[in-house]
Amino acid sequence: MFRKKRGLSLDEVGLLIIGSGAAVFYYYFEKTMTAGQNLAVFITMGIILLISLCTQLLINSINRSKHALAEANENLEIKVKERTAELRESEIKYRTIFENTGTATVIIENDMTISLANSEFVSISGFKKTEVENKTSWLNFIDEKTHRKLLSESATSEYSNKNHAAARNFECEFFDKYNNKKDILCTLATIPGTDKSVASLADISELKKAERQIYHQAFHDTLTGFPNRALFIEILNMAIKRSKRRDDYHFAVLYLDIDRFKLVNDSLGHNVGDKLLIAFANRIKDALREIDTLARFGGDEFVILLEDIEGQEYASSIAERLQQALKKPFMVSGKEVFAPASFGVVANTKDYNHAENIIRDADAAMYHAKEKGKAQFKVFDKKLHEKAMHLLQRETDLRKAIHNNQFENHYQPIVDLKTASLVGFEALIRWNHPQLGLIYPGSFISIAEETGLIIPITRLVAGAACTDLKKWQEQLGDQINLTMNVNISSKHFLMPTLLDDIQEILKKTGLPPEQLKLEITETALMEDADETIRLVHRLKDYGLQLVIDDFGTGYSSLSYLQRLPIDTLKVDRSFVSRIQNEPDGNRNIVEAIISLAHRLNMIVVAEGVETHEQLAILLEMNCQLGQGHLFSKPINKTAVDELIEAILDFSRQNPDKYYPLSDMLSN
């Protein structure tokens, strides 16, 4: 076999040069010495040898450098391999993060082209990865408004300085390949040291849907889906601002509620009532224009905004038209239900600056429409405003009157009709107004009931009446056991605190419960039959006596009356006043009421007895008690004090006789 020839290395060349130099030097040295030549030749030969030695030294140095370079190259190769491995590991890590961020993420070039998209983005876009990367602008996926905004911002110097631009968050709409829309939250940031950006897109469609639902619930009625009070006020305020800017813009507001809606709930149930409200609202809406707004304020109260109308007369015509539409019955759960409504109209709205004031006046007009009767409408005017201001002032004065206790009781005696002797009193409130003087209850009780002030007023009346009766009873001792009648309003009667209030008053005054009679109207007793029965039994268990006031003017079920432990019926004065003039009418009614009361073991009190003829007829009917001007008008506390003294004096002089109130009390 032939061996492969190899070239001479530097070391071998060096040795060859040195050897050759040494051989030449030795040869010439021998020749010189033999021939006796001169020293110059010898020096020349020495120089040749020195050069050979230096050459060897240079070759050695070159070899050492070569070894060092080889070693450095080897180390560099190792470091390059290590760095390459690190970069590959880092790339794998960041690609893994990029792919698994949980959000759709893209890398965006300077020209807005997507250079890299993760699988989440590919999934929501509907495109293939190859259809997106390096081919599509990411702006193609977002809504036009955001598109324009981003392009506008990219032209500013602030946006262009990407190395210092902070990440930005904004909401926008995302459209996929099939033009399906999603709500997204986008985070857009520049990549430092590059002209690229990264965008992360989080799908917030469900969150936005929930947000819209919450907003809708906050500004819409849950039952009907129509705007509620809050949204209506916003819309109305915008209408007010529009009317201030445009002289030719007019609007009106209608406030309405269903007449006797409570009767529907009580008789057919709240489920039917809710269905009626929905049907009612839809019928009203169908009769309005698209630009008009119908809102439900709660219960059976609705408000309408008529926008951009021609004049004030238009609002009245709409009210009439709506009332005509409501005359047709509603079919609810297979039942035919009528739902007429009363309307209050504010047509002249130019002078208003606040929505609440318009609503207040429309409500006041509706209230006055109800006073006229059912299915009526009333247009608010200056007189109504003055009346409303008067009522507001009266309410303010009432609150002051309660705080300062400006009330006093007058007492009308109740007598035994057979003997005309005193058996008790009915407490009747009077208001000592500091400017207006003595005001009778007919002028303020309705306001007190509407505002809820009737409850603290009743506490004052009852407290004073029990205190006075306690004093009078102590004066009379065992000669006469008097009772005190106190009127309880329907508002107060069904309050959970009624019994607690009465117990507190009796405990404070020391009056026994059996000497206090609570007068409750027939209508109040019928408002909530089941609750009334429970409450009446609790009052009776405590020892109180109960009186049905104004019996015959309302509607009572006889079976219902039998279930109530009532002590006394009061025949209304409207029947008593006509028993002698209408013998075939009212006389029969009064006789029937008295007979009914006796069958139910109740005592009967006739109100408004003013003539001896009326007294004779009532006695013939076996009516036990009465009150009226024939015996005494309502008198103040001082007059009652004098009456008690007169009774005591009469009793001392006539120990076996009744005190004849009709003869001895000056009327």
Q: For the chain, give the mean pLDDT.
A: 85
Q: Which residues contact 47 (CB under 8 A, 6 or more apart)?
A: none
What are 101's strand-pairing partners? none
Which phi and psi (to 5°) does residue 341 adopt?
-135, 155
DSSP state of 441: G
> Between 166 and 112, whose confidence is greater?
112
- Return the number of other C-beta atoms located less than 10 Å from residue 629's C-beta: 13
Lowest mean pLDDT across 83-92, 340-349, 479-488: 83-92
Q: Please tell me the distance from the alpha carbon of residue 210 to that of residue 223, in angstroms, as a whole number.
A: 19
The CA-based angle 395-400-401, given to 5 degrees, is 90
Two structure tokens written together for 555: 């509607």
* C-alpha separations of 131 from 100, 134, 398 in Å: 21, 8, 80
Nearest to 150 by CA among 159, 141, 161: 159
**Sign of the CA dihedral 95, 101, 102, 105?**
negative
* Residue 398, pLDDT score: 94
CB distance 326 to 340 below 8 Å: yes
Look-up of token digits 């109960």 = 546
Q: Please tell me the distance from the alpha carbon of residue 210 to that of residue 204, in angstroms, as a whole number.
A: 10
Q: Is 178 left (phi over 0), alpha (psi -120 to 50) or beta?
A: alpha
Dihedral (Cα; 34, 38, 39, 42), 10-degree rounding: -50
- Return the number of other C-beta atoms located less than 10 Å from residue 221's C-beta: 21
DSSP state of 356: H
- Return the number of other C-beta atoms located less than 10 Å from residue 391's C-beta: 17
Q: What percent of the chain has pLDDT over 90?
A: 42
CB distance 617 to 577 below 8 Å: no
> Between 46 and 223, whose confidence is greater?
223
Out of 68-82, 129-143, 626-640, the most confident range is 626-640
Given a cut of 50, is residue 140 above it in pLDDT?
Answer: yes
Given a cut of 60, is residue 500 above it in pLDDT?
Answer: yes
Q: Which residues contact 269 (CB under 8 A, 6 or more apart)?
A: none
* 281: three-class secondary structure by DSSP: helix
* Residue type at position 485: N
**Sign of the CA dihedral 42, 44, 47, 49?**
negative
- Return the number of other C-beta atoms located less than 10 Å from residue 7's C-beta: 6
Nearest to 573 by CA among 361, 448, 412: 412
Lowest mean pLDDT across 3-12, 44-53, 126-135, 522-531: 3-12
* Residue 129, pLDDT score: 85
Q: How many CA atoms lie within 13 A of 617 on its CB side?
A: 22
DSSP state of 220: B
CB distance 257 to 342 below 8 Å: yes
CB distance 565 to 537 below 8 Å: yes
Two structure tokens written together for 576: 């008593």
What are 568's strand-pairing partners? 547, 603
What mean pLDDT do residues 64-82 have? 80
* Residue 666, pLDDT score: 46
> Between 396 and 28, whose confidence is greater?
396
Given a cut of 50, is residue 54 above it in pLDDT?
Answer: yes
Nearest to 499 by CA among 458, 538, 449: 538
Q: What percent of the chain has pLDDT over 70?
A: 86
Lowest mean pLDDT across 78-82, 139-143, 565-569, 595-599: 78-82
Which phi and psi (to 5°) does residue 237 adopt?
-65, -35
Given a cut of 70, is residue 586 above it in pLDDT?
Answer: yes
Given a cut of 70, is residue 203 above it in pLDDT?
Answer: yes
> Between 586 and 577, whose confidence is greater?
577
What mean pLDDT do residues 189-195 have? 85
- Return the number of other C-beta atoms located less than 10 Å from residue 382's C-beta: 8
* Residue 47, pLDDT score: 75
* End-to-end C-alpha distance for the chain, whole angstroms: 163
Q: What is the pLDDT of residues 653-663, one digit of tens each?
A: 888 787 877 65
CB distance 394 to 409 below 8 Å: no
Q: What is the pLDDT of residues 621-644, one digit of tens each?
A: 999 999 999 999 999 999 999 999
* Residue 256, pLDDT score: 94
CB distance 307 to 251 below 8 Å: yes
What mean pLDDT do residues 116-140 have? 87
Work out the pLDDT band at 453, boundaries 50, 70, 90. very high
Q: Please tell me the distance from the alpha carbon of residue 420 to that of residue 561, in angstroms, as a whole number.
A: 29
